[in-house]
Amino acid sequence: NVEPRSVPVFPWHSLVPFLAPTQSD
């Protein structure tokens, strides 16, 4: 018997780097 394997699904924002400067306001 082969157990079904779930395919990982990644959220879109995982792919984008956070380049957040310190916010000033």
Q: To 10 degrees, the CA torsion angle through 10, 11, 14, 19? A: 170
The answer to whether residue 3 forms part of the interface with another protein (CB under 8 A) is no
What φ, ψ does residue 15 adopt, rounded to 5°?
Answer: -85, -10
The answer to whether residue 4 forms part of the interface with another protein (CB under 8 A) is no
- Residue 25 CB, shortest distance to another protein, in Å, is 8
**Among the listed residues 2, 4, 5, 25, the single contact to another protein using CB under 8 A:** 25
- Residues in contact with another protein by CB under 8 A are 7-23, 25
